[in-house]
Amino acid sequence: MSEAKKLITRWSRDFQGNLQEDPNGSWVLAADAAIRDKRLMDKIDQLQQRLTAADERADRLEQALKFYADGDHLLLADPDAWDTCSGEPVNFLHDDAGTASVEDGSIAKAALKPAGGDGDEK
């Protein structure tokens, strides 16, 4: 048995088996390893909470975009009174009286398209 192994064996006996090897190959007291493991688990929990919050926010933003993309924001009493206007982007509708304009949801539809996709995926 090498001198290092003899020393580790003696230390393990002296510390009543509380000496253990960590993933880096170092020898630490079990209590220190437990503290490190607890800190690691706490960090993992914090990151998971942040990821969950980000996922929930992304879901809410997607719902808001879908509201516009589906045209649910357009409450047109007379849809025939709205049309595109020469010189303006085709996604902007203007009323016949020239008093109002609204975007038709095309921007939200474009934002909802998967990256690299053609937008037909559901």
Phi-psi region of 88 (alpha: psi -120 to 50; beta: other; left: phi over 0): beta
Instruction: Note whether residue 73 is domain-resident.
Output: yes
* pLDDT confidence of residue 58: 92
* pLDDT confidence of residue 33: 65
Instruction: Note whether residue 24 is domain-resident.
Output: no
- For residues 45-69, give the mean pLDDT: 91
Q: What tokens appear for 57 in the block? A: 């926010």
Instruction: Note whether residue 87 is domain-resident.
Output: yes
pTM: 0.50
pLDDT digits (tens, 9 = 90+) for 66-107: 988 888 887 777 777 777 777 777 888 887 877 778 888 888
What is the total count of domains within the chain? 1
Which residue range forms the structural domain that includes residue 91?
29-112
User: pLDDT-derived band of residue 49, with 50, 70 and 90 as boundaries?
Assistant: very high
Give me the DSSP letters along the chain: --HHHHHHHHHHHHTTT-EEE-TTS-EEEHHHHHHHHHHHHHHHHHHHHHHHHHHHHHHHHHHHHHHHHTTTT---S-GGGEEE-TTS-TTEEEETTSS-EEE-SHHHHHHHSPTTS-S---
Instruction: Note whether residue 17 is domain-resident.
Output: no
Instruction: Note whether residue 23 is domain-resident.
Output: no
pLDDT digits (tens, 9 = 90+) for 3-43: 776 766 665 666 555 666 667 777 666 666 667 778 888 89
CB 8 within 8 A of CB 27: yes
Instruction: Note whether residue 65 is domain-resident.
Output: yes
Instruction: Note whether residue 21 is domain-resident.
Output: no
